Amino acid sequence: MLYYRTAILLLLVTTLSHAQNAAPTEHELVQQLVQQVTALQQKVAALKARLPPVAPSSNADLTPQSVTTPAPQVVENDSPPVSLSQELHELRGFQWQGFGEADYKVLNQKIPELGTYGFDSGSAGNFYTGDFDLLLTARISDKANVLSEIAIEEGDAQSYSVDLKRVLFNYDYNDHLRMSFGRYQTAIGYYNSAFHSAGWFQTTADRPLIMEFASDGGLLPTQAVGMSFTGSIPSGRLGLNYVAEYGSSDTIRPSLNGQTLIDENNGNHINIGLFVRPDFIPGLQIGGSIYHDKISDFSKGPDVRLGQMIVNAHVVYIRHGVEFLSEGFFIRHAYENSSLVYNTPAFYSQISKQFHRVRPYFRYQYINADVGGVLDDLDLRYGPSFGVRYDFTDSIAFKTQFDHTVRKDEPDLDGLHTQLVFKF
């Protein structure tokens, strides 16, 4: 026991000697410790005195109250005792999460079409690793936190590049105003807000083509740098929410045949969305958004600009193991100082149901881009995908997916995609 006390004393002496320039004498140290113990005793006594003596189970003071919940008073002392703070490790510091995948994909057509990640289109089949995702979050206070998502993407010939997919400073003022600043995924539709790079979160092995990242041949400006605001709008049981974004998307997307890079040279976009999550149907979300920007079409001249408007409507239901996603898009490109207008309607619907560890799914997607517009490399294409996801554990899953894509003036495209996803 004496040895134990001596060891603690030596430890304290060492610590204090590093904290102060002039090392205290033993007597001073003992005095400091006595003062600290006294202060702690006073604090304990004060906390004990605060405890109300009334038993709550009487419920005598519990009167019904309307929907709004009053604010609790903030007490000065918000520092938990050591034992609990160790348990509540989320209070301070960084948190890392990792997400990875290993894919095998084979197509029945050898006519080159944009592959994703390391997939070498036109061959019998390829293995590739997709995105290796690292999510870093740090809590700054009860209302503020920082999030960053770093993806290591496989490119051609097993080359890898690092992409800071997202870096966000988030501040929750209250439920009606939540702010984010930095690089975010645009809230065009549901999918882009809900699913990010990590394939782990997706039921399917890939994103719907309409929601594919622009850098992988997708149609939409999926990422931007700027500011985003969201929150609830007082609406009773309707559960109305808003989202508003203003930023620069500056998208460069490869054409689907992989031969050209299309620099849209975007201006600043504005995106406004509304959605409801009604209390009377938990799990349901219905909403829509309107996105507007100005982009360039360098294929028609160095100064040719056109207005880009993207209208979205979506219905989502996720509850009791059922996942139903359905989104429709209308993309309109109108050239400035011209009557040229190109319209691209698109949609996808996806449904799945969890049976223990197995989740079979079905998806149907459709894109019909106007010929001559900036998206005409897509033209008309549609078709079903079906597959199954099997969750070995809460952290490892395997997916198998078959795709059939009908393409205008080109042979149909059939594909098999298997994917192992994991998180850690």
Partner 1 sequence: MPAKLIVRIDDRIAIWLAITFIAMASLSSVVAQTGVVAHPGTMVVAVVVNNTNPVTNITTPDLRKLFTGDKRSWAGGVAVRLFVRAPGAYERVVLLKLLGMSESEYKAYWTARVFRGEAQAEPVALFSNAMQKEALTIFPGAIALIDFQDVKPGMRVVKVDGHSPGEAGYPLN
- Write out the binding residues for partner 1, residues 81-120 only, by CB under 8 A: 81, 84, 87-88, 90, 95, 97
Residue 347 found at the interface with partner 1 (CB under 8 A): yes
Q: Which is nearer to partner 1, 41 or 95 (CB)?
A: 95
Residue 372 found at the interface with partner 1 (CB under 8 A): yes
Residue 2 found at the interface with partner 1 (CB under 8 A): no
Task: Kindly tell me which residue out of 18, 27, 45, 56 binds partner 1, with binding defined by CB under 8 A.
Answer: 56
CB of 336 to partner 1, least distance (A): 13
Q: Which is nearer to partner 1, 127 or 317 (CB)?
A: 317
Output the CA–CA distances (angstroms, integers) from residue 251 to 254, 310, 396, in the order listed. Answer: 10, 15, 33
CB of 338 to partner 1, least distance (A): 9
Q: Quick one: three-class SS letters along the chain? A: CHHHHHHHHHHHHHHHHHHCCCCCCHHHHHHHHHHHHHHHHHHHHHHHHHCCCCCHHHCCCCCCCCCCCCCCCCCCCCCCCHHHHHHCHHHCCEEEEEEEEEEEEEECCCCCCCCCCCCCCCCCCEEECCEEEEEEEEECCCCEEEEEEEEEEECHHHCEEEEEEEEEEEEEEECCEEEEEEEEECCCCCHHHHCCCCHHHCCCCCCCHHHCCHHHCCCCCCEEEEEEEEEEECCHHHCEEEEEEEEECCCEEECCCCCCEEECCCCEEEEEEEEECCCCCCCEEEEEEEEEEEEECHHHCCCCEEEEEEEEEEEEEEECCEEEEEEEEEEEEEECCCCCEEEEEEEEEEEEECECCEEEEEEEEEEECCCCCCCCCCCEEEEEEEEEEEECCCCEEEEEEEEEEEECCCCCEEEEEEEEEEEC
CB of 374 to partner 1, least distance (A): 14
Assess contact for 33 and 15: CB atoms under 8 A. no
| Number of residues counted as binding partner 1 (CB under 8 A) | 92
Residues 122-141 that bind partner 1 (CB under 8 A): 135, 137, 139
Residues 6-25 that bind partner 1 (CB under 8 A): none
Residues 199-228 that bind partner 1 (CB under 8 A): 201
Residue 207 CB-density burial (10 A; 0-12 exposed, 13-18 middle, 19+ buried): buried
CB of 328 to partner 1, least distance (A): 7
Task: Kindly tell me which residue out of 23, 30, 80, 408 binds partner 1, with binding defined by CB under 8 A.
Answer: 80
CB of 57 to partner 1, least distance (A): 6
Region binding partner 1 by CB under 8 A among candidate stretches 19-27, 57-65, 107-115, 408-416: 57-65
CB of 52 to partner 1, least distance (A): 6
Task: Kindly tell me which residue out of 62, 82, 124, 157 binds partner 1, with binding defined by CB under 8 A.
Answer: 62
Output the CA–CA distances (angstroms, integers) from residue 333 to 256, 266, 301, in the order listed. Answer: 18, 13, 16
**Binding flags for partner 1, 229-258, as an x/- string (CB under 8 A):** ---x----x---------------------
Residue 353 found at the interface with partner 1 (CB under 8 A): no
Residue 326 found at the interface with partner 1 (CB under 8 A): yes
Task: Kindly tell me which residue out of 63, 159, 161, 337 binds partner 1, with binding defined by CB under 8 A.
Answer: 63
Residue 268 found at the interface with partner 1 (CB under 8 A): no
Region binding partner 1 by CB under 8 A among candidate stretches 4-12, 36-44, 255-263, 315-323: 315-323
CB of 327 to partner 1, least distance (A): 9
φ/ψ region of 156 (left if φ > 0, alpha if ψ in -120 to 50, else beta) reads beta
CB of 270 to partner 1, least distance (A): 21
> Letter for the amino acid at 231?
G
CB of 81 to partner 1, least distance (A): 8
Task: Kindly tell me which residue out of 156, 279, 336, 412 binds partner 1, with binding defined by CB under 8 A.
Answer: 279
Task: Kindly tell me which residue out of 171, 324, 390, 398 binds partner 1, with binding defined by CB under 8 A.
Answer: 324
Residue 320 found at the interface with partner 1 (CB under 8 A): yes
Residues 179-198 that bind partner 1 (CB under 8 A): 180, 193-194, 196, 198
Task: Kindly tell me which residue out of 96, 394, 409, 424 binds partner 1, with binding defined by CB under 8 A.
Answer: 394
Q: How many CB atoms lie within 10 A of CB 113?
A: 19
